[in-house]
Amino acid sequence: MAEVKTREFVSASDSAMKDASLRRALRQVGGGFNEARLEAIEEVSWETWEEWREEARRTKIHALENLDYYLELLHDRVTAAGGHVHFARDASQANSIVAEIARSRNVKIATKSKSMVSEELDLNQSLEANGVEVYETDLGEYIIQLAGETPSHLVAPALHKTKEQVSELFHQELGVPLTDDIEEMARVARRVLREKFLSADLGISGANFLVAETGTLVIITNEGNGRLCTSAPRIHIGITGMEKVIPSLQDLAVFLRLLPRSATGQRLTSYVSMVTGPRRNDDEDGPEEFHLVLVDNGRSRLLADPDLREALYCIRCGACLNICPVYGKIGGHAYGWVYPGPIGAIVSPALVGLKEAKDLPHASSLCGACREVCPIRINIPRMLLHLRHRLAESPLETENATTTGERQAAQAYSWLMSNPAALSAAAKVGRLVQKPFVSGGKVSKRVPLPLVSKWTGGRDLPALPRQTFREMWAQGLESVAELRE
Amino acid sequence: MVEKQNLTSLGVPKDDFLDHVRRSLGRTHPVVPPPLHLPLTENLADLEGRAAAARERLEETRGELADRFEGTARARNWNVFRTSSAEESIGYITQLAGRLGISRAARADQPVFGELGVDSALRNTGVELFVAAHDESTSGPRVRDRIIESGLGITGADYAVAETGSVVVVPRQGLSRLVSLVPPVHLAIVRPKDLVESIDDVFLFRRLEYLRNGGDMGSYLNFITGPSRTADIEMKLVVGVHGPREVHLVLLA
Give pLDDT tens digits for A169-209: 999 999 999 999 999 999 999 999 999 999 999 999 999 99
Q: Which sign, positive or negative, has the C-alpha torsion A390, A392, A397, A401? A: positive
CB contact under 8 Å between B242 and A73, yes or no, is no
Sheet strands side by side (includes B220-224): A245-246, A209-211, A216-221, A271-275, B220-224, B166-169, B159-161, B195-196
Contact B194, B160 (CB under 8 A): yes
Domain B44-251 classification at class level: alpha beta
**Nearest CB partner across the interface for B230, out of A223, A284, A304:** A223
**Nearest CB partner across the interface for A303, out of B21, B199, B204:** B21
Measured CA to CA, the distance from residue A2 to residue A212 in angstroms comes to 29
Q: Which residue of A has its CA nearest to B182?
A: A228
User: What pLDDT is recorded for position A228?
Assistant: 97
Q: Give B171's Cβ-side CA count (13 Å radius).
A: 31
H or E stretch covering B141? helix B141-149
Say which amino acid occupies B87.
Answer: E
CB contact under 8 Å between A139 and B224, yes or no, is no
Give pLDDT tens digits for A340-375: 999 999 999 999 999 999 999 999 999 999 999 999
Q: Which residue of A has its CA nearest to B132?
A: A284
> Does residue A1 have a pLDDT over 60?
yes
**Nearest CB partner across the interface for B229, out of A105, A270, A300:** A270
Predicted confidence band of residue B2 (pLDDT cuts 50, 70, 90): very low
Q: Which residues of B touch A156 (CB under 8 A)?
A: 231-232, 235
Predicted confidence band of residue B242 (pLDDT cuts 50, 70, 90): very high
**Nearest CB partner across the interface for A68, out of B8, B25, B199:** B25
Contact B214, A219 (CB under 8 A): no
> Does residue A454 have a pLDDT over 50?
yes
Predicted confidence band of residue A484 (pLDDT cuts 50, 70, 90): low
Mutation for B interface: A62, A165, A222, most B CBs within 10 A: A222
Kindly state the percentage of chain B with pLDDT values over 90: 83
CB contact under 8 Å between A156 and B18, yes or no, is no
**Nearest CB partner across the interface for A86, out of B10, B174, B178:** B10
User: What pLDDT is recorded for position A483?
Assistant: 60
Q: Which residues of B touch A251 (CB under 8 A)?
A: 36-37
- ipTM value: 0.95
Q: Which residues of A touch B218 (CB under 8 A)?
A: 276, 280
Predicted confidence band of residue A294 (pLDDT cuts 50, 70, 90): very high
Task: Supply the mean pLDDT for chain B.
Answer: 92
Measured CA to CA, the distance from residue A215 to residue A249 in angstroms comes to 10
> Does residue A272 have a pLDDT over 70?
yes
Q: Which residues of B touch A185 (CB under 8 A)?
A: 233
Q: Which residues of A touch B169 (CB under 8 A)?
A: none
Q: Give B189's Cβ-side CA count (13 Å radius).
A: 26
Tell me how far apart the terminal alpha carbons of chain A are, to the nearest angstrom: 64
In order of A9, A227, A242, A351, A352, the CA distances from A301 in angstroms are: 23, 33, 12, 8, 11
CB contact under 8 Å between B11 and A86, yes or no, is yes
Q: Per-residue pLDDT averaged across A436-442, rounded?
A: 83
Measured CA to CA, the distance from residue A355 to residue A108 in angstroms comes to 40
Backbone angles phi, psi at A204, to 5 degrees: -115, 130
Contacts of A404 (CB under 8 A, 6+ apart): none
Q: Which residue of B has its CA nearest to A186?
A: B241
CATH of A6-300 among 3.40.50.620, 3.50.30.40, 2.60.40.10, 3.40.50.10420: 3.40.50.10420
Q: Which residues of B touch A179 (CB under 8 A)?
A: none
B227: closest CA of chain A, how far (Å)? 6
Q: Per-residue pLDDT averaged across B106-125, rounded?
A: 91
**Nearest CB partner across the interface for B21, out of A62, A67, A231:** A67
Mutation for B interface: A166, A271, A300, A301, most B CBs within 10 A: A271
Measured CA to CA, the distance from residue A195 to residue A189 in angstroms comes to 10
CB contact under 8 Å between A276 and B166, yes or no, is no
Q: Which residue of B has its CA nearest to A84?
A: B8
Contact A69, A246 (CB under 8 A): no
CB contact under 8 Å between B12 and A93, yes or no, is yes
Domain definitions of chain B by residue range: 44-251
In order of A330, A463, B25, the CA distances from A364 in angstroms are: 12, 26, 29
User: What pLDDT is recorded for position A485?
Assistant: 53
Q: Which residues of A touch B219 (CB under 8 A)?
A: 81, 275-280, 283, 286
Contacts of B48 (CB under 8 A, 6+ apart): B208
Contact A290, A77 (CB under 8 A): no
For A272, the 3-state DSSP assignment is strand
Measured CA to CA, the distance from residue A148 to residue B121 in angstroms comes to 51
Domain definitions of chain A by residue range: 6-300, 419-484
User: What pLDDT is recorded for position B37?
Assistant: 80
> Does residue B197 have a pLDDT over 90?
yes
CB contact under 8 Å between B40 and A25, yes or no, is no
Give pLDDT tens digits for A67-117: 999 999 999 999 999 999 999 999 999 999 999 999 999 999 999 999 999
Closest listed residue to residue A121, CA positions, set A252, A246, A260, A293? A293
> Does residue B14 have a pLDDT over 80?
yes
**Nearest CB partner across the interface for B241, out of A25, A71, A189:** A189
Kindly state the percentage of chain A with pLDDT values over 90: 79
